[in-house]
C-alpha cells in the first residue's frame, strides 16, 4: 500500500532535491547513466513502490572507488532517500553499511574528499533514522559493532571542524544509550567520543557526562576505564571536569604490581577527598558521575569499598538536606531543589529499589541510607 513516504521519495528521486538537481551539477558519466536509467522508474507512486529494491541496489552498485566522480551525488541521494522513506528505509540499512565499509576498505579511506562525502551522507542517514535506530537498532543491523561502528570509528579520524564534530557527537550518544549492556560496543563508542571531543569544545560536555554516568552504575572495568579516558579528554578544555575526571580515575585505579587488580589504597584515598564542599563546587551532571561510581561500589564484594561508597552517598544526602533547608536561596550556588529532587527520585530511590534484589549485605547499606534520608 502506498504511503506518504513513498510520495516524498518520488519527489526526491524525480524532480525535487534529488537527481534533477545533481544531474545539472555533475557531468560524471557514471552518474549520468544512473540518472537516465532511474528516471523512467520514479515517475509515479506505484512505480517507486515497485522499484524500491532496484533503486537502492543501483545506488549501492555505484559506491565504488572507480566511480569516485559520481560518489558525492550518489551518497547525497542515499541520504535523501533515507529521509523520505524513514522507517521503510531500515530494511536497506545493513546493505548501506556494508557498501560504505567496502568503499572505505578499498581505497576510500585514503581520499579526504571521499571521507567527507561519506561522513556527511552517513551523518544525515543516522540523523533521519535516529528514533527508529534507538528503538530497534540491534535487529536492524546484524553486526553493529563490526560495521556501523566501524564506519564511525574510521570517519572520526578525519573530523576537524567543530560543527561537524558536534553533529558526530549528537549521533553517537543515542547509540551509546541503546547499547548500555553491550560492553564491546560501549568501549568502541567511548573510544570514538574520546577522539573527537577535543574538537567540539565544551558545549556538549554536560550532555556527554549525562550519557556516560549511567554506565558507571554497572559496567565492567574496561568500560569504566574508557569513560575515564573520555573525561580526561573533556578536562583538557573544561576545568570543571578536571577534578571529577581525576577522582574517577583514582576510584578505578588498578594495581601496578598485580595486573587486573584494583588499587584499594588509591581508591579509598579518592573517597576520602570527597565531602560536602565538593558537591558545592560541581554541577548536577558532574556529581552524578561520582554518585554513579559509588552506587556501583555499594555492590562490591569488598566491605571497605561498600563502606566508602555508603559514606559518600550519605555525604550527598546531608548536602542535599542543607540545600533544601536553606532559607537564603542565594547561597545555593548552582544547586536548587529541582536537581536535588531529580537525583533523589531518579537515582537514589531507583538504586535502593534495585538493591532489594541483591544480597543482604548490599540491602542493609541501602536501607541504612534510606533511614538517614528519612
Whether the pLDDT of residue 20 is over 60: the answer is no
Q: Where is average pLDDT lowest: 53-67, 192-206, 236-250? A: 192-206
Q: Is the pTM of this model over 0.75?
A: no
Whether the pLDDT of residue 245 is over 90: the answer is yes
Q: Name which residue leads in pLDDT, 178 or 276.
A: 276
- Render pLDDT for 314-339 as a digit per residue (tens, 0 to 9): 999 999 998 888 766 555 567 888 89
Q: Where is average pLDDT lowest: 18-32, 256-270, 293-307? A: 18-32
Distance of alpha carbon 152 from the chain centroid? 11
For 63, the grid coordinates are 559506491
Give 289's pLDDT tier (boundaries 50, 70, 90): very high
* Nearest CA-CA partner of 153 in 108, 100, 208, 191: 191
Contact present, 1 and 88 (Cβ < 8 Å): no
pLDDT at 16: 45
Whether the pLDDT of residue 259 is over 70: the answer is yes
> 251-276 burial, b if ≥16 CB within 10 A, otherwise e?
bbbeeeeeeeebbeeebeebbeebee
Hunting for cell 560504505 — which residue is that? 100
Phi, psi (rounded to 5 degrees) for 275: -140, -170
Contact present, 278 and 199 (Cβ < 8 Å): no
Whether the pLDDT of residue 141 is over 60: the answer is no
- The sign of the dihedral angle between the CA atoms of 153, 158, 161, 167 is negative
Please compute the mean of the pLDDT values over residues 167-176 and round it to a whole number.
75
Burial zone of 15 (CB within 10 Å; 0-12 exposed, 13-18 middle, 19+ buried): middle
- Render pLDDT for 201-236 as a digit per residue (tens, 0 to 9): 667 788 899 999 999 999 999 999 999 999 999 999
Q: Where is average pLDDT lowest: 13-22, 295-304, 339-348? A: 13-22
Q: Name which residue leads in pLDDT, 131 or 253.
A: 253
pLDDT at 1: 36
pLDDT at 307: 95
Whether the pLDDT of residue 44 is over 90: the answer is no
Task: Tell me how far apart the alpha carbons of residues 109 and 9 are, in angstroms, rounded to a whole number.
Answer: 30
Please compute the mean of the pLDDT values over residues 119-124 and round it to a whole number.
82
Whether the pLDDT of residue 343 is over 90: the answer is yes
pLDDT at 161: 61
Q: Name which residue leads in pLDDT, 148 or 291.
A: 291
pLDDT at 327: 65
Percentage of residues in the chain having pLDDT higher than 90: 31
Amino acid at each position: 500500500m502506498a504511503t506518504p513516504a513513498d510520495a516524498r521519495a518520488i519527489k526526491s528521486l524525480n524532480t525535487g532535491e534529488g537527481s534533477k538537481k545533481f544531474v545539472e551539477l555533475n557531468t560524471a558519466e557514471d552518474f549520468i547513466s544512473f540518472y537516465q536509467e532511474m528516471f523512467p522508474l520514479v515517475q509515479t507512486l506505484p512505480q517507486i513502490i515497485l522499484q524500491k529494491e532496484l533503486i537502492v541496489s543501483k545506488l549501492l552498485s555505484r559506491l565504488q572507488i572507480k566511480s569516485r566522480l559520481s560518489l558525492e551525488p550518489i551518497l547525497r541521494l542515499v541520504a535523501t532517500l533515507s529521509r523520505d522513506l524513514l522507517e521503510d528505509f531500515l530494511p536497506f540499512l545493513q546493505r548501506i553499511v556494508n557498501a560504505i565499509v567496502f568503499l572505505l576498505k578499498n581505497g576510500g579511506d585514503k581520499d579526504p574528499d571521499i571521507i567527507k562525502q561519506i561522513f556527511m551522507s552517513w551523518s544525515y542517514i543516522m540523523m533521519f533514522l535516529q528514533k527508529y535506530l534507538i528503538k530497534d537498532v540491534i535487529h536492524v543491523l546484524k553486526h553493529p559493532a563490526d560495521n556501523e561502528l566501524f564506519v564511525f570509528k574510521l570517519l572520526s579520524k578525519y573530523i576537524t571542524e567543530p560543527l561537524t564534530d558536534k553533529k558526530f557527537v549528537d549521533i553517537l550518544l543515542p547509540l551509546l544509550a541503546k547499547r548500555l549492556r553491550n560492553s564491546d560496543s560501549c568501549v568502541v563508542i567511548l573510544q570514538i567520543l574520546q577522539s573527537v571531543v577535543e574538537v567540539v569544545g565544551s558545549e556538549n560536555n554536560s550532555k556527554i557526562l549525562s550519557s556516560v554516568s549511567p554506565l558507571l552504575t554497572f559496567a565492567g572495568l574496561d568500560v569504566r576505564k574508557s569513560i575515564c579516558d573520555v573525561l580526561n579528554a573533556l578536562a583538557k578544555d573544561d576545568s570543571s571536569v578536571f577534578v571529577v575526571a581525576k577522582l574517577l580515575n583514582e576510584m578505578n585505579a588498578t594495581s601496578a604490581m598485580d595486573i587486573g587488580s584494583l588499587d584499594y589504597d588509591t581508591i579509598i584515598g579518592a573517597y576520602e577527598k570527597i565531602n560536602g564542599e565538593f558537591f558545592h563546587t560541581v554541577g548536577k551532571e558532574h556529581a552524578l558521575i561520582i554518585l554513579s561510581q559509588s552506587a556501583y561500589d555499594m555492590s562490591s564484594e569488598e566491605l571497605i569499598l561498600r563502606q566508602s561508597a555508603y559514606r559518600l552517598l550519605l555525604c550527598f544526602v546531608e548536602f542535599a538536606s542543607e540545600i533544601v533547608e536553606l532559607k537564603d536561596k542565594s547561597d545555593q550556588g548552582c544547586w536548587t531543589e529541582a536537581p536535588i529532587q531529580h537525583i533523589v527520585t531518579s537515582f537514589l530511590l531507583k538504586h535502593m529499589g534495585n538493591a532489594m534484589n541483591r544480597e543482604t549485605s548490599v540491602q542493609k547499606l541501602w536501607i541504612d541510607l534510606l533511614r538517614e534520608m528519612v
